[in-house]
A = this chain, B = another copy of it.
Amino acid sequence: MAVATRSVTELCQIAKRASRTLATLDRGAKDAALHAIADALEARTPEILEANARDMEAGRENGLSPALMDRLRLDEARVAAIAGQVRDVAALPGPVGEVLDGGRLANGLAIRRIRTPLGVVGVVYEARPNVTIDATALCLKSGNAIVLRGSSSAAHSNAVLAAIAQEASGLPEGSVTLLTGGREELAELATQNGLVDLIIPRGGDGLKKALEGVATVPVIYAAAGNCHVYVDATADLDAARRIIVNAKTQRPGVCNAAETLLVHVDAAKDFLPGALDELRNAGVELRVDARTKTLAGDGFADATDEDWDTEYLALILSVKIVDSVAEAIEHVNEHGSGHSEAIVTRDVAAARAFQTGVDAACVYVNASTRFTDGGEFGMGAEIGNSTQKLHARGPIGLRELCTVKYLVEGDGHTR
């Protein structure tokens, strides 16, 4: 890949041209390209591991944390798993061409609204080199060209992975592009209006802020998740306990983990003491409101106003007693981030009120918030999760990597 001599604009122009061809490919051609990529990843594993070893060495020299080093590291099994995921994406139904609706108008015009690729998708990401291939597979499957910008700490790994994907795919030059320049590239990529149709950042707040300041092309920002579990007056308290423990502790560092427990006052006395004990035994630090303290004893920190708005991403949970499902809904809409919200209840009216009244991407009844995930939702894979309301809300899968097009057919129709 002799990319060093080309500007970001030139590379995006080549990607745009490639996207014109990709948009016309049948599903079979795209799936064949994905299988060829998977095979090549396996066949060229030694080359990948060699490049990864150079990144790992540089990481050690630069004092990367053990967690980051683990995210950076590839081995034979991890490469095989990446190849397996590419084959899984190939096996998914293709979103392109799906007819969403249509019919024949009164004047005889036949109209169809179909899904069609966005064009060029930029993916900006941090250390994990597997994202290079995961994101590429999803973009190619949905008929898009991809422009990748990874972390410099994974530069060697990403370069080999992206080169293998482009070469093995047999798709036009520019179908898979990795930007390999300096920090100024992010701003260049984010301002390629007319060439780049969407940027998806996969990374922390720093990346998000860096984009927010400069991006003029559309960006779907990765979601923050200040998620709640509300235990209603009529809840099955065993189920409620399982759900809050799962939602808080199964993987506390992710965006669909719960951060606040709301409990109806009528359930509080029976529910809270046992539930809080179990949470504490699971290592959760509890920050509770005054009524919870009165009920459950003094051994808890006070929740401050700030707690209700905080996504801990850690084994910390704030707890509050409410007087009604309406108060729970209001608290969630006031403090939640619109990601994933759950009610535990036996009461159909309460479930209906919560589902209708809560303004969030995913609203659960009697289930943990942890299910918000493209894989769990049967979408096959996701490239991120959105709490925006426009275009994509919830997991971003193949469908969300597409736009629509109206096809209108007449017989010399004029207006």
A interface, CB within 8 angstroms of B: 20, 23-24, 103, 105-106, 109, 111, 113, 116, 118-119, 197-198, 218, 220, 236, 238-239, 242-243, 245-247, 250, 333, 344, 351, 353, 355-357, 359-368, 370-372, 376-378, 388-391, 393-394, 403-415
30 A-B pairs within 8 Å (CB atoms) are namely A20-B333, A103-B378, A105-B377, A105-B378, A109-B367, A197-B390, A218-B389, A236-B412, A239-B411, A242-B412, A242-B414, A243-B414, A246-B414, A247-B414, A250-B415, A362-B408, A363-B405, A363-B408, A365-B407, A365-B408, A365-B409, A366-B411, A366-B413, A367-B408, A367-B413, A368-B414, A376-B415, A377-B406, A389-B403, A390-B391
A413-B371 CB under 8 A given contacts A361-B406, A407-B363:
yes
Q: Are B20 and A415 in contact (CB under 8 A)?
A: no
A242: B residues at CB distance < 8 A: 412, 414
Q: Are B367 and A410 in contact (CB under 8 A)?
A: yes
Set B105, B365, B372: member contacting A376, Cβ < 8 A:
B105
Q: Are A412 and B198 in contact (CB under 8 A)?
A: no
* Tally of this chain's copies: 2
A106 to B367, CA, bound (A): 14
A393 to B218, CA, bound (A): 14
A412-B239 CB under 8 A given contacts A357-B20, A367-B109, A393-B404:
yes
A370: B residues at CB distance < 8 A: 414-415
A197 to B360, CA, bound (A): 13
Q: Are B364 and A410 in contact (CB under 8 A)?
A: yes
A308 to B113, CA, bound (A): 28
Q: Are A364 and B409 in contact (CB under 8 A)?
A: yes
A368-B415 CB under 8 A given contacts A356-B23, A377-B406, A389-B119:
yes
A118 to B370, CA, bound (A): 24
**Known contacts A23-B356, A24-B357, A367-B408, then 13 further A-B pairs from the complex at CB < 8 Å, ordered by chain A residue:** A24-B353, A24-B356, A119-B359, A236-B412, A243-B412, A364-B409, A365-B409, A365-B410, A366-B410, A367-B410, A367-B412, A367-B413, A393-B404
Set B236, B361, B404, B407: member contacting A355, Cβ < 8 A:
B407
A119: B residues at CB distance < 8 A: 359, 389
A389: B residues at CB distance < 8 A: 118-119, 197-198, 218, 403
Q: Which 9 A-B pairs have the closest CB atoms?
A: A367-B410, A239-B412, A246-B414, A389-B403, A367-B413, A391-B391, A390-B391, A370-B415, A362-B406
A116: B residues at CB distance < 8 A: 359
A74 to B351, CA, bound (A): 48
A390-B415 CB under 8 A given contacts A359-B20, A408-B362:
no
A391 to B220, CA, bound (A): 11
